């Protein structure tokens, strides 16, 4: 019984650490979106980078915050919005950590602000 539990836990750990990826760091905030269940920001098409390959038919160049993050960790979502506002106001570039998709758009789980 104990061996099964340990093996099960160890087999699950690599999938957690391997999830998600960073964009190329060229994202400049064009518009900020604040709507329940669909919040995030858009960029010009030439700056959109989708490492998770979320877009199949959508032509929007949008990065969205996970609705789960907004609901369960509102302080974390507020920090992401603060960084988006700072990037837009000061014309800074963002590197976006995306993990999966929301409505065929990359799901934001982290941001890095650059000069």
Topology (CATH level 3) of domain 20-114: OB fold (Dihydrolipoamide Acetyltransferase, E2P) (2.40.50)
Measured in whole angstroms, how far is the alpha carbon of residue 105 from the centre of its chain? 9
Average pLDDT over residues 32-48: 90
The domain locations on the chain are: 20-114
Give me the percent of the chain exceeding a pLDDT of 70.
84
pLDDT tens for 53-100 read 998 777 889 999 988 888 899 999 999 999 999 999 999 999 999 999
Residues 25-41: b if buried by 16+ CB within 10 A, e if exposed: eebebeeeeeeeeebbb
């Amino acid at each position: 019984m104990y061996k099964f539990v340990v093996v099960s836990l160890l087999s699950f750990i690599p999938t957690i650490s391997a999830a998600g990826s960073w964009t190329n760091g060229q994202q400049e905030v064009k518009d900020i979106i604040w709507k329940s269940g669909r919040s995030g920001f858009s960029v010009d098409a030439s700056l959109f980078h989708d490492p998770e390959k979320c877009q199949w038919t959508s032509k929007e160049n949008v990065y969205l915050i996970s609705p789960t993050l907004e609901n369960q960790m509102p302080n974390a979502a507020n920090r992401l919005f603060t960084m988006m506002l700072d990037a837009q106001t000061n014309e800074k570039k963002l590197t976006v950590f995306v993990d999966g998709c929301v409505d065929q758009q990359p799901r934001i789980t982290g941001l890095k602000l650059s000069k």
